[in-house]
Structure 1
Amino acid sequence: KQLWRIPFHALSPDGNKYLIETNTISYSPSVYLLKQQLSSEPPRRRTIQIFANDTFNRQKLAYVNSEATSIGKLFGISPRLNATKSDFLKSSAGADILHFSMHAQLDSENSLSSFLAFQPLAADSGRLTVNDLLSVRLKPNNLAFLASCDTSKVHNGEGLISIPWALLASGSSSVVSSQWEANDEATQSFSNAFYREYLDGHSTTRALQRAAVTIIRDKSTGFHEPFYWGAFTLLGDFR
């Protein structure tokens, strides 16, 4: 359980370079799931749905909407700002890529109640729980990017019972998520760098590596320290 919390990609064995600078690194919640994923053809993804909601319980994420808008421009689409749970349920099934830019709330007592915070409506809290995700059928082999804080919480059992785990169980083959509370502005920089590399034709794990290297080597932003980029990990199919 505690081993999972170690960001191996952010370690620097020689004290000079981080492992991510010279290696592509991915993680898997279980050996069985990884074998299943690698038995299929490598995914080819182009269509994206971007869900953004910048406020939960009066706590605002300042860079959520600009992050979603800039990613939308890379793909030539408009993001769903102030996205509702209904927006997700209606439009997620056909997308190759699902990007979530919003708060996440983790329940350490009952992992199935952990949730992504969509815009609430009069008759709907906006909480998309792990339990909800387990009843959704997503497009097979899709990529999900959770630009939310600390979405990879560990629970007992083989691997994870968490939001990323639920996405994998519902059809995603790859999930980018954060291991701790990521800085909002740094998340915007990292996610944009990732998608630029991905759209250039790199595999998911290579795009993640190149995005991290870009952030590490750009000292002007102040995000070159592992705290800012090391939170992001790739779960599942690395292709």
Structure 2
Amino acid sequence: EIVESARRLDASLVEYLVTERQLLAWVVTPAGAVHALKVDVTRERLAALTRSVRTALATAGQAGFRRSPALGSALRELDRLLVAPLAAWLPSSPAASLVVIPHGPLALVPFAALEDDSGRPLVERYTLSFAPAASVYQHTGDKLRAGTAGKRRALIVADPVPPPESGVERLPWAREEGRRVAERLRGTSVRILSGPDASEAAVKREAGGYSLLHFATHGLIAPDRPLASSLLLGAGGGDDGYLRADEVFDLDLSAELVVLSGCSTGLGQLTGDGIIGLTRAFIYAGTPSVVVSQWDVSDRATALLMDRFYAALQQGEPKGAALRAAQLATRRGFAHPALWAAFMLVGEPR
């Protein structure tokens, strides 16, 4: 199954299994070769390194986005444990696709930001995408082949008015982000829902008719109840303004790509085969590729990243390559990984 996926995707797949005392890793090449490796590192150590990185990223704004030595040290150690031992089997070209299937605490690792001993982040070395489990590619491949026929249509949902009881403020740059995305999609039929029009009821009513969905809004994460994780939209029309993961599962989508440009939209409950939450909900609702964030993101840096992402897509770049180009471009203006490394592509890389 995983060998067939590697061939179809023309990608190298890396699958990890974290045990109490060892890390097991498999690399499957596009040609179908399978390599296996054991690394002597405990689950506790991997979890501690991941917590260290996530804490540094979450508090980066409080330090004025100055990089701490501890962050660099943890990113390099994770690279030495997770990437360096496999390097001989990984692609030699940065343009080649590398799919990462994490396990356990590795689901929270910001792989794009991992650094080798010379300080190069992983996103500079490979074109990355992710999957919660190898079996996902059986599902997404079918969805990709069944994609929307005819003219491309995009629905952009930006800067909704949050439900009053949510206590959440509107994102200052979300409307500007939506405008920039629409400008980049020239030649595509674009509909923008913003302000009071960006309601949950409107999204449920209209989302099924578009080949691309872009949400510039907050994501609210419920770690203990992953199916209650939600995108924050406007209330009305019989809906409360919280588009929950369990409601997304029930949507019938034909989009080839969904972009969740909000706070921590990629998170959910940590399980044996990855994160249950909004990401998986959109995939099983019919979307082969989902772009999500792993932590609370700066909306100003995100507006730049999304502008570059869609510019690359319009130039014909595959989804994974477009996200890589956008992250590298954003990194040039916002050097701290908290500002450019949050987003990941889950599902089909092309």
User: TM-score, normalized by length of structure 2?
Assistant: 0.63
Q: How far apart in 2 are the matches of 1:67 and 1:183?
A: 12
CA contact (8 A) 2:301 2:340 kept: yes
Find the counterpart in structure 1 of residue 281 from structure 2.
166
d(CA) in 2 for partners of 1:114, 1:125: 14
Task: Please tell me the residue identity of whatever aligns with 1:26.
Answer: S
Question: How do residues 75-224 of structure 1 correspond to structure 2 at under 5 angstroms?
Answer: 75-76=185-186, 77-82=190-195, 83-121=198-236, 123-139=238-254, 142-155=256-269, 156-218=271-333, 223-224=334-335
| Offset at residue 201 of structure 1 (A) | 0.1
- Is 1:4–2:103 an aligned residue pair? no
By how many angstroms is 1:42 displaced?
A: 9.8
SS in 2 for 1:120: coil
More strand by share: 2
Residue identity matched to 1:128 = L
Letter in 2 for 1:238: P
CA displacement 1:145-188 (0-9 Å, x = unmatched): 00011112142242221101100010010010001111111111
**Equivalent position to 2:173, from 48, 63, 70:** 63
User: Residue 238 of structure 1 corresponds to which residue in structure 2?
Assistant: 349
SS at match of 1:31: coil
Cα distance, 1:100 vs structure 2: 0.5
Aligned counterpart, 1:228: 339
**Higher relative contact order, chain-length normalized (CA < 8 Å, sep 6+):** 1
Equivalent pairs, count: 234
Instruction: Could you list the structure 1 runs, at least 4 aligned residues long, displaced by more than 3 angstroms after superposition.
Output: 38-46
Quick one: distance in 1 between partners of 2:330 and 2:158? 23
The answer to whether the aligner puts 1:50 opposite 2:164 as a matched pair is no
Aligned twin of 2:58:
none
Deviating more after overlay: 153-162 vs 199-208: 153-162
Note if contact 1:54-1:103 (Cα within 8 Å) is conserved in structure 2: no
Shift of 1:73: 1.6
Report how far residue 41 of structure 1 moved: 4.3
Which residue of 118, 123, 131 corresponds with 1:15?
Answer: 118
Secondary structure of 2:275's match?
coil
- Listed as ranges, the gaps of 5+ residues in structure 1 are none
Between Structure 1 and Structure 2, whose CA radius of gyration is higher? 2
User: C-alpha distance in 2, partners of 1:142/1:61?
Assistant: 26
Stretch moving more, 154-163 or 103-112: 154-163
The percentage of counterpart residues that share the same residue type is: 26
Which amino acid counterpart does residue 163 of structure 1 have in structure 2?
A: L
- Bigger helix fraction: 2
Q: Which runs of 5+ in 2 are unaligned?
A: 1-103
